[in-house]
Structure 1
Amino acid sequence: MNRIQFFVRLFSGGKTLVVQADSTDSVEVIHEKISLMTGIPTSVQRLIYQGKQLQVDQTISDCGINMESNLQLVGRLRSTKYSHAWKLMNELSSLIWGFCKSEFCLIQNDKDHLENVLIQILIMIPHDIDEASEYLEIFISSSVPAALVMLYTSSYLDNKIVADKCIRQIINSFDSESLTPMYSTYAIILEFCKSLREAGIEDDLYIFCRSSLRDIIDLVGIARCEADTKKFISLQDVLPFVREIAVKLHHNLNLTMGSTPLSLSCSLVHDFAAFMFPVRNAIWFQVPFGSTITFPLMENDTDDAEYYRESIKCLYCSFRGLLEATLSSLGLLETRLGLKEEVEDVQVVQWWSLYLTLLKELNNISKLYTGMENVFWQKMRQVKASLCFLVVKFATKLEDYGWLFEHKEVLSFEGRRHLAIMMLPEVIDGGGLYSMFIDRSQLLESSFEYIITATRKNLHGCLFIKFKHEEATGPGVLREWFLLVCQAMFNPQNALFVACPNDRRRFFPNSASKVKPLHLDYFWFSGRMIALTLTHKIQIGIVFDRTFYLQLAGQDITLEDVRDADPPFYKSCKEILEMDPEMLDGDNLGLRFICDVESLGSKKEIELCPNGKDTIVDSKNRDEYINLLIEHYFVTSVADQVACFANGFADVTITSEHQPFFRCLNLEELDLMLDGSGNDISVEDWKAHTDYSGYNKSDCQISWFWKIVECMSVEQRNVLLFFWTSIKFLPPDGFAGLGSRLKIHKSSAPSDHLPTSQTCFYSLRFPPYKSESIMQDRLHMITQEHIGCSFGSS
């Protein structure tokens, strides 16, 4: 073997390398030597000697290379119409690799030249998606990302700063979705992340690159479909991020349980959710389990399952570890901060809200593994108080909390009501004003015209009500209008709804409502009105029958659910189900799979199933018969009415759907929001929301008044409240939900006069009574028309 020495001049006028090799070494070996010396990948190297490109399978002697020969190293040009782009990429790569191996710090001219070349490259990116994708592939192949990371590891601070600036500039240039294809952008940022991580760097630049990769994943929804998953994303690329983030997040949660509480890292939590998304979806779409995954995997699982074994294990271990750490942290934080205390510190607010993001993602992961979803919800029941606290305090975006509807029992009524209210528009003072001038003599008809023609924007603003020929306006009049219109809507004489025989407050749609012209439009109007009463937190003393509620919630109706709506029907069905089988099988009742339907005074038979007239009801099919009867009488016969009501309701909500609202609440909780009857009024809350004009708090008349109110029954207080404000029942959040304070004015009338009210301003006027007994008698006269009992002794 003949040992020789020759020179290799780097591309674009860079440094000259001294290379020693054997004459029998191949050109491929020379490429590898150059790569070790410069860090330039062999895939982008092209050696030129005496005007000819050297082939990798040639030896040095075959090429005629002698001692002290001079070779030129240039970038490998591929067949592409972007030859200028390749030239700039190679020039940039050459500059960077030259700086990486130099023994001195970059001078200003070098920095300027490098940045100018980079700017030229970035402004050349085509706007066409396909062309931009090819252009960015050139960028990756040129090894520029790896070269910049190598420069970033320089011992010279100035070199490090330049590399940091260039990498951030490249990534920030991909912000515009219309400028470049997101998949190619993802590949470039991934290359930076991998190179930085392989270099053992986890500083601000690495976190910036990782967060940028997260933003790309969020933007394009990587791995949403099976085809994109294998074509675009490799689990081996993403798993290292998942593993490192899960470890850091677990450590972060453990720190919050220490003696000094630390806030959860917002970046870590959001990165965790983003990187888990493609891994979770890739497993879900690609692994042919057919359902959930049984862990640990069996030895005879398919090759695909084996390929994803590491992903499956990583996801499972991350889920179990983070779930336990999260629950422990929540338990300690609950004890430390106390759920009843107001959390004022902004940092604490941000910290607590991150738990909801983390729990949402853990819930998503639990769906992949057999039995783990049950484990997750069992754990959630253990921290029910904390979970409810988090939802009430921090839940703002409804789409982030839909996962809680699946198991609403893990929340208290307060938490469920908060989620439900989030689906309703917020009435903001000073917003758009929708004015309605209502004729009391045609209350329902005139209100119908205003509400049915209003836009969603109108109804999401403030409502202004003025009755014709009346001066009063304000919140009291608005509440009175709501109460009167809803009472008219549900008045059985208007044929829209039917009251339950056993509870006249409960209503369900009338199957014979078509006797009323425009009856379906009126159901649409009714849906809008109920949504508006809930939006304005006005209780109307009317509630839904269970059959009506269940249909709105998208749930099935059973026989027990119709007990209140139709007691005779319920009793008859129970008798059929409990009847002796022999009697039923003997056709003693003569029952067939048919039912009678009355329409506009005439009756006709409806078959409940094909050939129902000839199908005898017996002990074997009686359950099916009862279910079909229930389906017909309580679902099919009112399907159009319920659908129109639901569409009207959804038209007011911000979700444009009705089912999530009704699914979120139990019927009894919806009752409290619509009715409120039976709720006692807090006298202390009443006092706290009352102002005085002409009186002082210390005046004897004021002391007498509150003493008398404290001795009233629940019903008496509701009557007094209605006289004072035109509000029959308080909103769930008490007097704070009225939107305006109450007032007590001193009247100039003689002391033997009754108190008077000005409900539009929530004002009560009474004279300066000379004794407590006189005041008690006057208040008694106000309420005795409504209730047949007197006040308790003073």
Structure 2
Amino acid sequence: MSFIRNHGGVFHGGPTTDHHLPSKRKLEDSGSLIDDSSDSNDLMSDLVSVRMRKDEGGAVNSWSPIKTPLSPLSETQSQRSLSIWPHLQFFVRMMSEGNTMVMHAFPEDSVKSIHQRIQHIKGIPIHEQRLIYMGKQLQFEQTLAECSIQNDASLQLVGRMRSTEHPQAWQVMNDMISVVYRMCRGESLPNALKTVKGLIDSYLNMTPRDSDSALGYFQIFMSCSAPAVLVMLYLSPFTGNKDCADSSVRHFVNSCRSTLSEELHSQFALVVLEFCKLLRRLHCDDPLYMFCRSTLGSLLETDCVCCGTTEEDVKGLILVQDIFPFVRELANSLLSDLDLSLESPTYAGHLYSDVRDLRAFLVPLRSGISVQQSLMVSATDEERHTDAMLTEEIENLHFLYIELLSKMDECLKKVDSSLADQEITEWDTPYNAWSQYLSILKELHQISKLYDGAEEELWNVLTRQRSAVCQLIVRYAKRNDEHHWILERKCVTNFESRRHLALLMLPEVKDDYEELHEMLIDRSQLLAESFEYIGRVEPESLRGGLFMEFKNEEATGPGVLREWFFLVCQEIFNPQNALFVACPNDKRRFFPNPASKVDPLHLEYFRFSGRVIALALMHRVHVGVVLDRVFFQQLAGNEITLEDIRDADPHLYSSYKQILEMDPGFIDSDSLGLTFVREVEQLGHREVVELCPGGKNIVVHSKNRENYVDLLIQDHFVTSISEQVSQFAKGFGDILSNSSLESSFFQSLDLKDLDWMLHGSEDIISVEDWKAHTEYQGYEETDPQISWFWEILGRMTGEKRRVLLFFWTSVKYLPVEGFPGLASSLSIYRSPEHEDHLPTSHTCFYRLCLPAYSSRAIMQDRLKVLTQDHIGCSFGTW
């Protein structure tokens, strides 16, 4: 394949590249030069010129000098040629071979004489030849003058249709080109669009589906200059031609995408690239150009289209340099859109499509640049000079990065100031400019990894604009997006944004009842029956959501489900069930019990436990338990350090710390008598476990004590519970949208974040805050019953308030945000029941039904009954 370097780019030639072709080429038959340069800006003229001078040389999409042997002349013609130059010079394009002949003749010469000369040169029998000019076949008996052949005209030769490879494909393409030429001349053809589309379908139907055989068909399509011909039709001034061309090109592109296998997409991408090069000279906002550019980007984004960086890269069907112009174009358009978004954030324009297409083109571009940069490290001076133009483009991408980053800094400042001015409500539409900011930042993050210092520049901007970044995450980060990159440095996020990103890894709870996993559970068999419903089913059935009902109880709905989550987690983490152990200094914190193996089903229960915790997070229920740091670090795939075990086992933490801080001389004296072993209690008896091979004989001293402590921590807090942690993680991963994200989920959070997500607020419930977020139905705020209620509530202990809140809402621990974090406001409803009755609740709607008690004392007595755990944590029976 031949290439031309010019203007900083290596490219597969194409009829309308932005680079200038060599201005002159030598003709072997006459020694004269053809001047390819033109001052005309008319694309139609350029396309016709391309068809006259383009030479495929048997290769797809390449340019080379026109090679034509001397055309044999008759004796008379030879004599005349000695005295004068022939009156006509014209070009004959060999459609079956993809090269071009330059021929000379007199206007009065016959078409048949031209056929005879072609037979003499190419050996193609006359009866297999057809000459096409301006869409019409030339007749043997006509003269060139009668056919209106002009100087420098371009004729198409269809030859060897019977003997050439793929003759039917050549025939179909020739028929399509003939139809298009007739339309470009202004002929009105009935059903022209149907005819062109039909020929395209015929061509694609005969194209083989395996890559080797299909290559020839793509070569024919390119050799025939079919893309140039269709673009010529698109530019044609005659009515209907543009629409016909637009529809035909889209039909060809869409049909190829839907019918061709992925292994053929590299060849298909070359054709789309040709369309893009032809169309981009019109205007970057041309609809057909934007369609082809977007298609090319989506093809390049996949792994099935190869891109190369050098001429010798035989796998690189599309060179990286071909991609740069599109990246520059899209980046410039993006900058313009961002400027407009500063004036009006509701502006969307082409922002979404520009970001999408830029992302697609950047995928192979970044890969190509990374390869090139690695090659440049060991390159010779000559190789560096050869790649100087590619290096220039690499630098240009860096300049674009700096410009885009600077513009995004401005945009983030605007977001922050708008939030401060509370202007966000009127701008908060799903498809505004702000919704694309995170995608742009992600692409900048990817580019930044290519250049020294660029990544720090990006993080400095994000840190400086932290408030705006967090708001964008919460408002616009979607479940199908990939925003995990931003958690590489958690300092640019806050709890709210990290929680949002983590929860996006979990499925969305479905609204359709039929998609929910139904459970009917006996309270007296809560843990065992919950295990059967959750632990013994396929994960897919749980990802839609849960519908919960207790046996012999009339309540159903979200409130019942919230209560079940709370109660089943209390059972799972109950130390009496031997699955988890509470931390001595914080009874809310748990880590796996190394002795859980006494139960043969313990590993299945750990997987069940992981599923329950993931489902609780998915349903956003606070269950009142938190994980110990040792447990959390292992779920996140992190190493366990001495400081991590502080809460899990304060005694061991203190002992290990003393060993590390003891005087070296004392340790070396072997006064402690320590060796690399640990005593472990197994089912009532103690046994000695070596921490490393031959550990019994290795004495602990000042130089190896750190290793000794590390091995103790590893054996006691990692090895002893590795199976339990692994099964819990698998169960958690069963619920995630992608099970491979189980480590990523925990890595995206701080331990405190997970505490707040699982346990909720640790503060005593504020009565004033409770009151501010409660509405009344049938009562007025000034009614005595309402005044008594809040007065009684204010005198309750923190735990009694939680029990009453749980009775009211099935929520015992509020979100970190307090009452504003609940799904809706609470309400007190005036119940028609007699004051002998206790209050009732509709937990799904956060509604407390309060009878109109006649005195404060009666109300206090009734509420006292409700705040007993066995009453506040159950529903009425049948």
TM range (shorter): 0.7 to 0.9
User: By how many angstroms is 1:56 displaced?
Assistant: 1.2
Query: Which residue is equivalent to 1:9?
Result: none
User: By how many angstroms is 1:636 displaced?
Assistant: 1.1
Query: Which residue is equivalent to 1:406?
Result: 488
Map 1:575-614 → 2, pairs under 5 A:
575-614=658-697
Matches of 1:177 and 1:632 in 2, distance apart? 57
SS in 1 for 2:680: strand
Q: Would you say the 8 A contact 1:456–1:651 is kept in 2?
A: yes
Map 1:372-771 → 2, pairs under 5 A:
372-431=454-513, 432-656=515-739, 657-681=741-765, 686=770, 695-696=779-780, 699-706=783-790, 708-709=792-793, 714-732=798-816, 734=819, 737=822, 742-746=827-831, 748-750=833-835, 755=839, 764-771=848-855
Query: In structure 1, which of residues 284, 292, 300 is the aligned counterpart of residue 370 of structure 2?
Result: 284
The CA RMSD over aligned residues, in Å, is 3.8
Give the aligned residue type for 2:169: A
Matches of 1:597 and 1:721 in 2, distance apart? 45
User: By how many angstroms is 1:260 displaced?
Assistant: 8.8
1:20-78 deviations in Å (ceiling 9; x for gaps): xxxx98268699899997542445699xxxxxxx9813156588566433435433769
Query: Which residue is equivalent to 2:361?
Result: 275
Give the aligned residue type for 2:808: W
Matches of 1:509 and 1:146 in 2, distance apart? 69
User: By how many angstroms is 1:562 displaced?
Assistant: 0.6
- In structure 2, relative to structure 1, the CA distance for the partners of 1:299 and 1:561 (3 Å cut) is farther
Matches of 2:548 and 2:862 in 1, distance apart? 31
Query: Which residue is equivalent to 1:16?
Result: none
Give the aligned residue type for 2:546: L
Matches of 2:684 and 2:562 in 1, distance apart? 39
Q: Would you say the 8 A contact 1:538–1:674 is kept in 2?
A: yes
SS in 2 for 1:604: strand
Query: Which residue is equivalent to 2:51?
Result: 40
SS in 1 for 2:471: helix
Give the aligned residue type for 1:74: Q
Matches of 1:763 and 1:333 in 2, distance apart? 38
- Unaligned stretches of 5+ residues in structure 2: 1-26, 37-44, 58-65, 79-103, 115-130, 132-154, 871-878
Matches of 2:198 and 2:535 in 1, distance apart? 63
SS in 2 for 1:506: strand
1:93-135 deviations in Å (ceiling 9; x for gaps): 45656766xxx53433695666664454344434444433321
Matches of 1:599 and 1:256 in 2, distance apart? 67
Q: Would you say the 8 A contact 2:307–2:317 is kept in 1?
A: no
- In structure 2, relative to structure 1, the CA distance for the partners of 1:339 and 1:89 (3 Å cut) is farther
Query: In structure 1, which of residues 361, 367, 392 is the aligned counterpart of residue 443 of structure 2?
Result: 361
Query: In structure 1, which of residues 26, 43, 59 is the aligned counterpart of residue 29 of structure 2?
Result: 26
Give the aligned residue type for 2:530: S
Query: In structure 2, which of residues 404, 419, 423 is the aligned counterpart of residue 322 of structure 1?
Result: 404
Query: Which residue is equivalent to 1:335?
Result: 417
Matches of 2:743 and 2:376 in 1, distance apart? 29
Matches of 1:76 and 1:359 in 2, distance apart? 54
Number of matched pairs:
748
Matches of 1:204 and 1:306 in 2, distance apart? 35
Tell me whether 232-241 or 35-44 shows the greater mean CA deviation.
35-44
Give the aligned residue type for 2:29: S
Q: Would you say the 8 A contact 1:331–1:383 is kept in 2?
A: yes
- Unaligned stretches of 5+ residues in structure 1: 1-23, 47-53, 787-794
1:652-696 deviations in Å (ceiling 9; x for gaps): 121213212211221111111111252354667756875656545
- In structure 2, relative to structure 1, the CA distance for the partners of 1:652 and 1:619 (3 Å cut) is same
Tell me whether 184-193 or 252-261 shows the greater mean CA deviation.
252-261
User: By how many angstroms is 1:393 displaced?
Assistant: 1.1
Matches of 2:388 and 2:690 in 1, distance apart? 55
Tell me whether 143-152 or 523-532 shows the greater mean CA deviation.
143-152
Tell me whether 573-582 or 244-253 shows the greater mean CA deviation.
244-253
1:607-665 deviations in Å (ceiling 9; x for gaps): 22233222222222222221111111111110000000111111112121321221122
Q: Percent identity?
A: 45
SS in 1 for 2:258: coil
SS in 2 for 1:400: coil
1:114-160 deviations in Å (ceiling 9; x for gaps): 66644543444344444333212210111121233334344555544
User: By how many angstroms is 1:332 displaced?
Assistant: 1.6
Matches of 1:273 and 1:765 in 2, distance apart? 55
Matches of 1:394 and 1:314 in 2, distance apart? 31
1:161-206 deviations in Å (ceiling 9; x for gaps): 4433433332232230546821121111100111223466752222
Give the aligned residue type for 1:58: L
TM-score (norm 2): 0.76
Q: Would you say the 8 A contact 1:725–1:759 is kept in 2?
A: yes
Matches of 2:869 and 2:566 in 1, distance apart? 20
SS in 2 for 1:499: strand
- In structure 2, relative to structure 1, the CA distance for the partners of 1:290 and 1:548 (3 Å cut) is farther
User: By how many angstroms is 1:537 displaced?
Assistant: 1.9
Give the aligned residue type for 2:718: V
Q: Would you say the 8 A contact 1:496–1:510 is kept in 2?
A: yes
User: By how many angstroms is 1:390 displaced?
Assistant: 1.4
User: By how many angstroms is 1:471 displaced?
Assistant: 3.9
